[in-house]
Structure 1
Protein backbone atom coordinates (compact mmCIF):
# COMPACT_ATOMS: atom_id res chain seq x y z
CA UNK A 1 0.00 0.00 0.00
CA UNK A 2 1.30 3.43 -0.90
CA UNK A 3 0.99 6.20 1.65
CA UNK A 4 -0.13 9.27 -0.27
CA UNK A 5 -0.30 11.67 2.65
CA UNK A 6 1.38 13.98 3.25
CA UNK A 7 1.78 14.68 -0.42
CA UNK A 8 5.34 15.58 -1.42
CA UNK A 9 6.02 19.04 -2.76
CA UNK A 10 8.12 19.00 -5.91
CA UNK A 11 9.48 22.34 -7.09
CA UNK A 12 10.73 23.28 -10.51
CA UNK A 13 12.69 26.54 -10.67
CA UNK A 14 11.13 27.53 -13.99
CA UNK A 15 7.54 26.55 -13.30
CA UNK A 16 7.14 27.56 -9.68
CA UNK A 17 5.74 25.24 -7.04
CA UNK A 18 4.13 22.02 -8.21
CA UNK A 19 1.84 20.66 -7.06
CA UNK A 20 0.38 23.86 -5.74
CA UNK A 21 -1.53 24.01 -2.49
CA UNK A 22 -4.77 23.98 -4.51
CA UNK A 23 -3.54 20.92 -6.45
CA UNK A 24 -2.85 19.06 -3.23
CA UNK A 25 -6.25 19.91 -1.77
CA UNK A 26 -7.91 18.81 -5.01
CA UNK A 27 -6.13 15.45 -4.66
CA UNK A 28 -7.24 15.13 -1.04
CA UNK A 29 -10.84 15.96 -1.93
CA UNK A 30 -10.80 13.43 -4.79
CA UNK A 31 -9.31 10.75 -2.55
CA UNK A 32 -12.03 11.30 0.06
CA UNK A 33 -14.73 11.29 -2.64
CA UNK A 34 -13.42 8.06 -4.21
CA UNK A 35 -12.32 6.13 -1.13
CA UNK A 36 -14.19 7.74 1.76
CA UNK A 37 -12.78 8.42 5.19
CA UNK A 38 -13.81 5.16 6.85
CA UNK A 39 -13.65 2.65 4.00
CA UNK A 40 -10.45 1.06 5.29
CA UNK A 41 -12.01 0.63 8.74
CA UNK A 42 -15.15 -0.96 7.29
CA UNK A 43 -13.04 -3.39 5.24
CA UNK A 44 -10.98 -4.26 8.30
CA UNK A 45 -14.09 -4.87 10.42
CA UNK A 46 -15.66 -7.05 7.71
CA UNK A 47 -12.44 -9.05 7.43
CA UNK A 48 -12.52 -9.57 11.20
CA UNK A 49 -16.12 -10.81 11.11
CA UNK A 50 -15.69 -12.99 8.03
CA UNK A 51 -12.27 -14.54 8.66
CA UNK A 52 -10.67 -13.78 12.00
CA UNK A 53 -13.59 -14.24 14.40
CA UNK A 54 -14.50 -17.70 13.04
CA UNK A 55 -10.83 -18.71 13.36
CA UNK A 56 -10.70 -17.49 16.98
CA UNK A 57 -13.88 -19.40 17.81
CA UNK A 58 -12.51 -22.53 16.12
CA UNK A 59 -9.25 -22.27 18.08
CA UNK A 60 -11.04 -21.74 21.42
CA UNK A 61 -14.34 -23.53 20.80
CA UNK A 62 -14.36 -25.43 24.12
CA UNK A 63 -14.57 -23.19 27.18
CA UNK A 64 -14.08 -24.88 30.54
CA UNK A 65 -16.19 -23.53 33.39
CA UNK A 66 -15.66 -23.50 37.14
CA UNK A 67 -18.47 -26.05 37.47
CA UNK A 68 -17.01 -29.54 37.37
CA UNK A 69 -18.06 -31.46 34.27
CA UNK A 70 -19.65 -28.41 32.60
CA UNK A 71 -18.10 -26.89 29.51
CA UNK A 72 -19.29 -24.52 26.84
CA UNK A 73 -18.83 -25.55 23.21
CA UNK A 74 -19.09 -22.79 20.60
CA UNK A 75 -20.35 -23.76 17.15
CA UNK A 76 -21.72 -21.88 14.15
CA UNK A 77 -21.37 -18.36 15.47
CA UNK A 78 -23.41 -15.61 13.86
CA UNK A 79 -23.08 -11.87 14.05
CA UNK A 80 -26.27 -10.04 13.17
CA UNK A 81 -28.06 -6.81 13.71
CA UNK A 82 -28.61 -5.77 17.33
CA UNK A 83 -31.86 -6.98 18.86
CA UNK A 84 -33.65 -5.68 21.90
CA UNK A 85 -35.70 -8.02 24.04
CA UNK A 86 -38.32 -6.13 26.03
CA UNK A 87 -39.59 -7.16 29.46
CA UNK A 88 -42.82 -8.43 27.87
CA UNK A 89 -40.78 -10.85 25.72
CA UNK A 90 -41.18 -8.98 22.45
CA UNK A 91 -38.12 -8.39 20.31
CA UNK A 92 -37.24 -5.57 17.99
Structure 2
Protein backbone atom coordinates (compact mmCIF):
# COMPACT_ATOMS: atom_id res chain seq x y z
CA UNK A 1 0.00 0.00 0.00
CA UNK A 2 1.43 3.35 -1.02
CA UNK A 3 -0.24 5.56 1.55
CA UNK A 4 2.09 8.57 1.63
CA UNK A 5 3.95 8.09 -1.61
CA UNK A 6 4.86 11.17 -3.62
CA UNK A 7 6.78 11.34 -6.87
CA UNK A 8 7.67 8.79 -9.51
CA UNK A 9 8.80 5.23 -9.08
CA UNK A 10 12.38 4.22 -9.88
CA UNK A 11 13.49 1.16 -11.81
CA UNK A 12 17.16 0.27 -12.24
CA UNK A 13 17.92 -1.92 -15.24
CA UNK A 14 21.36 -3.46 -15.71
CA UNK A 15 22.26 -4.45 -19.25
CA UNK A 16 25.15 -4.85 -21.66
CA UNK A 17 22.95 -3.51 -24.47
CA UNK A 18 22.14 -0.01 -23.25
CA UNK A 19 21.02 1.29 -26.65
CA UNK A 20 18.88 -1.78 -27.38
CA UNK A 21 17.20 -1.62 -23.98
CA UNK A 22 16.55 2.10 -24.39
CA UNK A 23 14.99 1.58 -27.82
CA UNK A 24 12.87 -1.29 -26.45
CA UNK A 25 11.48 0.93 -23.68
CA UNK A 26 10.84 3.78 -26.10
CA UNK A 27 9.06 1.58 -28.63
CA UNK A 28 7.19 -0.86 -26.36
CA UNK A 29 6.18 1.52 -23.59
CA UNK A 30 6.25 4.96 -25.23
CA UNK A 31 9.26 5.90 -23.13
CA UNK A 32 11.19 9.12 -23.54
CA UNK A 33 14.92 9.55 -22.95
CA UNK A 34 15.26 12.41 -20.51
CA UNK A 35 17.65 13.99 -18.02
CA UNK A 36 17.21 13.36 -14.31
CA UNK A 37 16.10 16.86 -13.31
CA UNK A 38 13.75 17.19 -16.28
CA UNK A 39 12.36 13.72 -15.57
CA UNK A 40 11.68 14.58 -11.93
CA UNK A 41 9.88 17.72 -13.07
CA UNK A 42 7.68 15.95 -15.61
CA UNK A 43 7.01 12.66 -13.81
CA UNK A 44 3.88 12.02 -11.79
CA UNK A 45 3.08 9.46 -9.11
CA UNK A 46 2.00 7.10 -11.88
CA UNK A 47 5.28 7.44 -13.78
CA UNK A 48 8.53 5.51 -13.59
CA UNK A 49 12.04 6.74 -14.20
CA UNK A 50 14.08 3.84 -15.61
CA UNK A 51 17.81 4.13 -14.96
CA UNK A 52 19.68 2.03 -17.49
CA UNK A 53 23.19 1.09 -16.38
CA UNK A 54 25.98 -1.25 -17.35
CA UNK A 55 26.37 -4.58 -15.60
CA UNK A 56 29.63 -4.14 -13.71
CA UNK A 57 28.30 -2.66 -10.48
CA UNK A 58 28.01 -4.15 -7.03
CA UNK A 59 25.56 -1.40 -6.04
CA UNK A 60 23.77 0.81 -8.53
CA UNK A 61 23.36 4.55 -8.03
CA UNK A 62 21.52 7.20 -10.04
CA UNK A 63 24.88 8.60 -11.16
CA UNK A 64 25.67 5.24 -12.82
CA UNK A 65 22.83 5.60 -15.33
CA UNK A 66 23.97 5.81 -18.94
CA UNK A 67 20.39 6.57 -20.03
CA UNK A 68 17.24 7.61 -18.16
CA UNK A 69 13.87 6.79 -19.68
CA UNK A 70 10.61 8.31 -18.43
CA UNK A 71 7.61 6.01 -18.83
CA UNK A 72 4.12 7.10 -17.83
CA UNK A 73 3.23 3.80 -16.23
CA UNK A 74 3.98 1.94 -13.00
CA UNK A 75 7.06 -0.26 -12.60
CA UNK A 76 5.08 -3.52 -12.43
CA UNK A 77 3.59 -2.84 -15.88
CA UNK A 78 7.06 -2.13 -17.25
CA UNK A 79 8.47 -5.35 -15.82
CA UNK A 80 5.56 -7.45 -17.07
CA UNK A 81 5.92 -5.92 -20.54
CA UNK A 82 9.63 -6.78 -20.57
CA UNK A 83 8.83 -10.37 -19.59
CA UNK A 84 5.84 -10.85 -21.88
CA UNK A 85 7.56 -9.27 -24.89
CA UNK A 86 10.65 -11.43 -24.39
CA UNK A 87 12.66 -8.31 -23.73
CA UNK A 88 14.32 -10.09 -20.82
CA UNK A 89 17.16 -11.14 -23.13
CA UNK A 90 18.31 -7.50 -22.97
CA UNK A 91 18.80 -7.64 -19.19
CA UNK A 92 21.75 -8.83 -17.11
CA UNK A 93 21.78 -12.59 -16.42
The answer to whether the superposition gives a TM-score over 0.5 is no
TM-score of the superposed pair, with normalisation by structure 2? 0.23
